[in-house]
Amino acid sequence: MTSTASLHSVTHNGRRTDHEAAAANPFTVQGLTVAYHQKPVLWNVSFSAPVGCLTAIIGPNGAGKSTFLKAALGLIPKLSGETSVFGAPIKKQLARIAYVPQRSSVDWDFPATALDVVTMGLYGRIGWLRWPGKRHRAAAMQSLAAVGMQAFAQRQIGQLSGGQQQRIFLARALAQDADVYLMDEPFAGVDAATEKAIVDVLHQLVVSGKTVLVVHHDLETVRDYFSHVFLLNGQPIASGAVEDAFTPQNLQKAYGGRLASTQLQGLAAAAPHKA
Amino acid sequence: MHAFWQAITLQAGYNTALVCVGAAILGASAGAIGVFVLLRKRTLVSDAVSHATLPGVALAFIVGQLLFEAGRSLPLLLTGAAISAALGVLAVDAIKNHTRLNEDTAIGTVLSTFFALGMVLLTVIQSLQVSGQAGLEGFLLGATSGMLFSEAVLIAVAAGIIGAALLLRMKEFTLLCFDEQFAATSGYNVKALDRTLLILLVGIVVIGLKTVGLVLIVALAIIPPVAARFWTDRVPVLTAIAAGIGATGGYIGAAISASAPDMPTGGVIVLVLFTLFVISMLIAPARGVLAAALRHRRFQKVVHLRQGLLSLAHNEPVLEPLTARLLRRNGLLRGDGRPTPEGASLAHKTAQDQLLWNAYKQQAPEEALLMKDWSLRPIQEVLPPDVVKSLQDDLSLDSAPSANTLRSPL
């Protein structure tokens, strides 16, 4: 399952140094198990995000996709499991992580402007007892511009549309300037143009060497947007490049009877030429 | 009236002046902390905290009386109050975390139990027939009349320290209140931040017991931020206004109470705060009731004007009286019901804008439904440029009417 990641870390003389191994594993989860009220949601899930790739986490409703991200980040209690980021425990590497929660997880009537929220992405770097200055506001404006929202900087966040709010969340993550981006359903309830804008930003991130992991539920767009997939249904089903892992057999395993066979054929037919 | 004037201008003696200033600092700090308690949606916790202080006050009095024969020492009583308030908060958290009961239920249980215990202990103290117990009732409703100079200094200094501590961590508290998950993944210790906020709240409640009383101290943390919320949509401004309202309420309330010693200080302060709340609710420009009514009126005009212009664009007669009046008043419609040249031109542009809005609604029905500006303002003012561009491309319009040419005449 981690073959994609390890391919890149073999040096010319065939030996891997610890440093290189760490650089090749931006986000690795080992044996993650989570239960809500004695009901296991995730069972012994291990996964390593392919470095510098755009990966979709897919699976049916209730498969634990969001739970996987939250538990891996330590936001909710887990029964077992470890997360490492570039070879070190995640707790020490949070500066290299940017997390985009679901849009519905916050109260948008909060007294803040779009710029205020994006500036929150810089708080970790501003430090204690200091206030965001001109430099920070300029950096936040740049992130806003990257998602086409600079004209809305002074707007109260409650007055923004759902798609605009999602762009603000993405801009906040961009302001963090992390190496690994973890996003929970960034396309939920957004308009087509926003979806395209977000995908463009994600591709730019990957081009500049970042690793991006996205909880996604629209199977139709997986092939268009992502290079890698991680199929999850409580347990890991498959992971790898889209052409290898996004197969009718694996989808059948993950979704069971929930996908009609015609749908499976359709998704498989979209497959590009195979070797 | 004369006595009140003297008190409010700080001329009614050094002691009274200090009590007034102390109450103002107390009100400012409580209001500022209240902002974050409100934004964290934990206003009810402050009620649990205040009621949970009573058994601590009573026990501290008994212990002080037994050990030093000086039960009324304010620092001792406040220490007892702080300890039992902290136990109350821990009890609420324990019930919330280890059972399936929600926070409201936990607060209700803890609040009434601690208060009941406190009342029983107070009755026990009364039966002991010891001296100095008369002052204890002041902790229920607040009394500044018999306050010692040292007590007033203690309250002013402690409230000032708590307010300053809040200001130092304001940025982090804001993040905690808006998006706890993001705060955690940004490397902040969310639990510690939450606890710090609670400690500050417990601190200000305990400090305020003597002045406002435990029944009403919660109002000092709730009313100022709620009133301030009518005025602004920014956290730093909100904190400043809440502190200002709290300070005004504390100062005027203490001055009134000083000039009429029979009045309970807590009650007077809360009534002053409530007055400020009502004023804010009515006249605040950002979210006040009057401003909302005016905005609604303007909104109505925008809708009528827009619909009138669309009727003109489709060569339909404008029959609705308000619409026709608005169009005429803006020089868009002639007396005979035909559009003026400006009216025709603006109607055309509005129709083009409406095409884009309709296309957007087809493309993103859910978004459009939730959007409050849908089709009421030029589309460029509402949607990001790339969205507008893709809509234009889809409709193959050369360019949408620019925001300038489509300025609503209102």
Does residue B164 share a domain with residue B273?
yes
Which of A186, A175, A202, A5 is CA-nearest to residue A86? Answer: A5
Query: What pLDDT, on a 0 to 100 scale, did the predictor assign at position A269?
Result: 57
CA–CA gap between residue B269 and residue B311 (Å, rounded)? 57
Which of A89, A80, A81 is CA-nearest to residue A25? Answer: A89
**pTM (two decimals):** 0.82
Q: Which residues of chain B are within 8 Å of residue A193 when distances are taken between CB atoms? A: 363-364, 383-384, 386-387, 390-391
pLDDT at A15 over 60: no
Domain ends where: B240, B261, B283? Answer: B283
How much of chain A is helix, strand and coil, in % rounded to 5?
A: 45, 20, 35
Nearest CA distance, A196 vs chain B (angstrom):
10
Does residue B21 share a domain with residue B78?
yes
Give residue-wise pLDDT tens across range A75-98: 999 999 999 999 899 999 999 999
Query: What pLDDT, on a 0 to 100 scale, did the predictor assign at position A256?
Result: 81
Q: Which residue is closest to A122 within chain B, CA to CA?
A: B186
The partner residue sitting opposite A110, judged by closest CB among B178, B188, B383, is B178
Which of B212, B202, B294, B195 is CA-nearest to residue B251? Answer: B212
The CB density around residue A40, as the number of other CB atoms within 10 Å, is 14
CA–CA gap between residue A100 and residue A184 (Å, rounded)? 6
Query: What pLDDT, on a 0 to 100 scale, did the predictor assign at position B337?
Result: 81
pLDDT at B117 over 80: yes
Average pLDDT, chain B: 86
Domain ends where: B283, B305, B324? Answer: B283
Query: What pLDDT, on a 0 to 100 scale, did the predictor assign at position A153?
Result: 93
Does residue B340 share a domain with residue B212?
no
Give residue-wise pLDDT tens across range B126-145: 887 776 666 787 788 877 76
Stretch (H or E) spanning B325:
helix B321-329
The residues of B whose Cβ lies within 8 A of any Cβ of A are 39, 41, 168-169, 171-172, 174-175, 177-179, 181-182, 184-188, 229, 232-235, 238, 360, 363-364, 366-367, 370-372, 383-387, 390-391
Decide which of B363 and B397 is more confident: B363
Residue pair A258/A235 in contact (Cβ under 8 Å)? The answer is: no
Does residue B198 share a domain with residue B178?
yes
The partner residue sitting opposite A148, judged by closest CB among B238, B371, B385, is B385
Which of B181, B226, B379 to mutate against chain A (most A CBs within 10 Å)? B181
Query: What pLDDT, on a 0 to 100 scale, did the predictor assign at position B159?
Result: 87
Query: What pLDDT, on a 0 to 100 scale, did the predictor assign at position B283?
Result: 92
Does residue B162 share a domain with residue B63?
yes
CA–CA gap between residue A232 and residue A211 (Å, rounded)? 19
Does residue B68 share a domain with residue B196?
yes
DSSP state of B338: P
Does residue B250 share a domain with residue B109?
yes
Q: Which residues of chain B are within 8 Å of residue A120 when distances are taken between CB atoms? A: 174-175, 178-179, 182, 186
Q: Which of A258-267, B15-24, B159-168 has the lowest mean pLDDT?
A: A258-267
Query: What pLDDT, on a 0 to 100 scale, did the predictor assign at position A161?
Result: 86
Query: What pLDDT, on a 0 to 100 scale, did the predictor assign at position B51?
Result: 93
Rounded to 10 degrees, the C-alpha dihedral A168/A173/A177/A182 comes to: -150
Domain extent for B304 = 291-406
Query: What pLDDT, on a 0 to 100 scale, did the predictor assign at position A31?
Result: 93
Mean pLDDT of B175-204: 93
Domain ends where: B256, B283, B310? Answer: B283
Query: What pLDDT, on a 0 to 100 scale, did the predictor assign at position B212?
Result: 87
Does residue B32 share a domain with residue B152?
yes
Could you tell me the pLDDT band of residue B364, with boundaries at 50, 70 and 90?
confident
Average pLDDT, chain A: 86
Decide which of A178 and B1 is more confident: A178
Does residue B298 share a domain with residue B266?
no
Mean pLDDT of B13-17: 80
Which of A161, A166, A184 to mutate against chain B (most B CBs within 10 Å)? A161
Q: Which of A11-15, B113-117, B149-153, B191-195 has the lowest mean pLDDT?
A: A11-15
Does residue B367 share a domain with residue B275?
no
pLDDT at B16 over 90: no
Query: What pLDDT, on a 0 to 100 scale, did the predictor assign at position A2?
Result: 41
The CB density around residue A228, as the number of other CB atoms within 10 Å, is 22
Which of B174, B220, B203, B251 is CA-nearest to residue B19? Answer: B251
B372/A159 touch (CB, cutoff 8 Å), yes or no: yes
pLDDT at A159 over 70: yes
Query: What pLDDT, on a 0 to 100 scale, did the predictor assign at position A261?
Result: 67
Query: What pLDDT, on a 0 to 100 scale, did the predictor assign at position B404?
Result: 45
The partner residue sitting opposite A123, judged by closest CB among B175, B229, B370, is B175
pLDDT at B173 over 80: yes
Which of A19, A25, A85 is CA-nearest to residue A52? Answer: A25
Query: What pLDDT, on a 0 to 100 scale, did the predictor assign at position A6?
Result: 43
Question: Where residue B251 sits, what CATH number does that domain have?
Answer: 1.10.3470.10
Nearest CA distance, A82 vs chain B (angstrom):
16
Could you tell me the pLDDT band of residue B398, with boundaries at 50, 70 and 90?
low
Residue pair A148/B384 in contact (Cβ under 8 Å)? The answer is: yes
Give residue-wise pLDDT tens across range B243-295: 999 999 999 998 888 888 777 888 899 999 999 999 999 999 888 899 999 98
Mean pLDDT of A1-20: 49
pLDDT at B382 over 50: yes
The partner residue sitting opposite B185, judged by closest CB among A73, A191, A193, is A73
In three-state secondary structure terms, A253 is: helix
Which of A216, A242, A203, A213 is CA-nearest to residue A29? Answer: A213
B345 CB-near residues (< 8 Å, 6+ apart): none
Does residue B241 share a domain with residue B99?
yes
Geometric angle at alpha carbon A101, from A63 and A155, rounded to 5°: 145
Nearest CA distance, B275 vs chain A (angstrom):
23
Stretch (H or E) spanning A40:
strand A39-48
Query: What pLDDT, on a 0 to 100 scale, did the predictor assign at position A14?
Result: 47
Does residue B210 share a domain with residue B321?
no
Which range of A39-48, B147-156, B356-365 scores highest in mean pLDDT? It is A39-48
Domains identified in chain B, total number: 2
A191/B387 touch (CB, cutoff 8 Å), yes or no: yes
Nearest CA distance, B375 vs chain A (angstrom):
14
ipTM computed for the complex:
0.86
Mean pLDDT of A151-159: 91
CA–CA gap between residue A214 and residue A235 (Å, rounded)? 18
Could you tell me the pLDDT band of residue B409, with boundaries at 50, 70 and 90?
very low
Give residue-wise pLDDT tens across range B24-70: 999 999 999 999 999 999 888 888 999 999 999 999 998 888 887 76
